[in-house]
């Protein structure tokens, strides 16, 4: 596979007062097209810094970053904005949704400058939300959703434009274990089916085993860069997703909706039965029975 992301002697030094923090020390990397690449390491090891450099969100102190042969590290802010718009998707740990927009409007945002009609943009956005099991939440604002749901909106937004590369910093950091696995599996399926290069930062080693490549950072250095073969990757995924059944998030949402409808029907049937029974009962307040023929319970319809 051709190389999609390449760094050469990539270095980032932060200055805090008189202190110097070497967040990344001369990193050389190659990530292939279509790879699922996981970046792991302890807190403070430089994972977010590396991701931000690769994505052109921050300028390196020294060195080179190239994506698909384009020197991202040499672009100015305007060139970067256009490049990101056309080629990259992002999933942030803190969602970064716009509070005044609905879920569907947030997801549709990256399509804004593609020349696509609003109707088509919204249709694509709703489709993407359905894939994340959020078809019923398309009209909700971020404040009307749980953290996990907001993150799934953020993920839908990253995929909607089918970018070449998606960068994700702890995308499942705020999700429970079951949702993490489901969301992870959905992201992998969507990335792989569109041949999107997916670069994910995680501090959970177990999650990183689902990828094609695991890059481990320590104190700004790459201490291991491991390419997994297909058999190992498959075995890792089988173990990671063992507790999940075949159901996708979309199928699960449909099922929940069906259950809710069934429960509502059952509650309605119960109410009707209750009223019918009440109407048939002799009036206990009046042992002689209700001679007028009125139920007198006050509960019949």
Q: Which residues bind Mg ion (CB under 5 A)?
A: 48
The CB-nearest residue to Mg ion is: 48
In the complex, the smallest distance separating the C-beta of residue 20 from ligand ATP, rounded to whole angstroms, is 10
* Interacting partner of 149 out of ligand ATP, Mg ion, none (Cβ under 5 to 8 A depending on kind): none
Please, which of residues 200-229 interact with ligand ATP by CB under 6 A?
A: 203
23 binds, among Mg ion, ligand ATP, none (CB under 5 to 8 A by kind): ligand ATP
Per partner kind, with CB cut-offs from 5 to 8 A, the member of Mg ion, ligand ATP, none near residue 46 is ligand ATP
Torsion, Cα 200 226 29 90, to 10 degrees, reads: -10
Q: Which is nearer to Mg ion, 173 or 296 (CB)?
A: 173
Task: Report the 10 Å Cβ neighbour count for 277.
Answer: 12
d(CA 145, CA 139): 11
CB of 2 to Mg ion, least distance (A): 29
Site string for ligand ATP, 27-56 (x = CB under 6 A): --------------x-xxxxxxx-------
| 10-29: contacts with ligand ATP (CB under 6 A) | 14, 16, 21, 23
Instruction: Please identify, using beta-carbon distances, which residue of 122 and 207 lies nearer to ligand ATP.
Output: 207
Q: Which is nearer to ligand ATP, 136 or 203 (CB)?
A: 203
CB of 165 to Mg ion, least distance (A): 18
Minimum gap (Å) between residue 221 Cβ and Mg ion: 16
CA 175 to the chain's CA centroid = 10
Closer CB to ligand ATP, 110 or 171, in the complex: 171
Cβ nearer to ligand ATP, comparing 45 with 186: 45
Query: Minimum distance between the CB of residue 198 and ligand ATP, rounded to whole angstroms?
Result: 18
Q: How far apart are CA 287 and CA 185, in angstroms?
A: 66
Alpha carbon 283 to its chain centroid, in Å, reads: 59
Nearer to ligand ATP, 9 or 42 (CB): 42
Report how many residues bind ligand ATP under the rule CB under 6 A.
13
Alpha carbon distance, N-terminus to C-terminus of the chain: 71
Angstrom distance (rounded) from CA 66 to CA 169: 19
In sequence order, which ranges of 89-193 are alpha helices (DSSP H)? 103-108, 118-131, 147-160, 177-193
Q: Toward Mg ion, which CB reaches closer, 94 or 114?
A: 94
Q: Tell me if 148 contacts ligand ATP by CB under 6 A.
A: no
- Tell which residue, 101, 141, 142, 107, has the closest CA to residue 122: 107
- Please tell me the chain's helix, strand, coil percentages from 3-state DSSP, rounded to the nearest 5: 45, 25, 35
**From CA 110, how far away is CA 245, in angstroms rounded?**
32
CA–CA dist 169, 200 (Å, integer): 6
Residue 10: phi and psi, rounded to 5, are -75, 125
Q: Based on DSSP, count helices (H) and strands (E) in the chain, helices before strands.
A: 9, 10
- The nearer residue to ligand ATP, 70 or 203, going by C-beta atoms, is 203
The nearest distance, CB 204 to Mg ion, in angstroms, is 13
Q: How remote is the C-alpha of 32 from its chain's centroid? A: 22
State the residues that interact with ligand ATP by CB under 6 A. Answer: 14, 16, 21, 23, 41, 43-49, 203
């Amino acid at each position: 596979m051709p190389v999609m992301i390449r760094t050469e002697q990539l270095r980032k030094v932060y200055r805090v007062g008189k202190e110097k923090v070497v967040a990344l020390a001369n990193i050389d990397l190659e990530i292939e097209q279509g790879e699922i690449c996981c970046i792991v390491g302890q807190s403070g090891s430089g994972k977010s810094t590396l991701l931000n450099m690769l994505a052109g969100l921050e300028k390196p102190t020294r060195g080179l970053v190239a994506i698909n042969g384009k020197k991202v590290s040499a672009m100015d802010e305007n060139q970067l904005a256009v490049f990101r718009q056309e080629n990259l998707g992002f999933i942030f740990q803190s969602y970064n949704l716009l509070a005044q927009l609905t879920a569907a409007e947030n997801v549709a945002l990256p399509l804004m400058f593609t020349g696509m009609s609003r109707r088509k943009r919204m249709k694509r956005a709703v489709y993407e939300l359905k894939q994340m099991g959020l078809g019923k939440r398309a009209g909700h604002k971020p404040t009307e959703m749980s953290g996990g749901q907001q993150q799934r909106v953020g993920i839908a937004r990253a995929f909607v434009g089918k970018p070449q590369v998606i960068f994700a910093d702890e995308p499942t950091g705020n999700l429970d274990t079951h949702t993490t696995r489901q969301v992870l599996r959905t992201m992998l399926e969507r990335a792989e089916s569109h041949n999107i290069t997916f670069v994910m930062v995680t501090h959970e080693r177990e999650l990183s085993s689902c990828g094609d490549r695991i890059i481990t950072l320590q104190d700004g250095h790459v201490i291991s860069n491991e390419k997994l073969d297909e058999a190992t990757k498959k075995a890792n995924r089988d173990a990671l997703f063992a507790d999940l059944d075949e159901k996708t998030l979309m199928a699960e949402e449909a099922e929940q909706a069906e259950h809710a409808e069934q429960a509502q029907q059952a509650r309605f049937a119960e109410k009707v039965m209750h009223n019918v029974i009440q109407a048939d009962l002799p009036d206990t307040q009046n042992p002689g029975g209700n001679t007028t023929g009125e139920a007198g319970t006050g509960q019949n319809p």
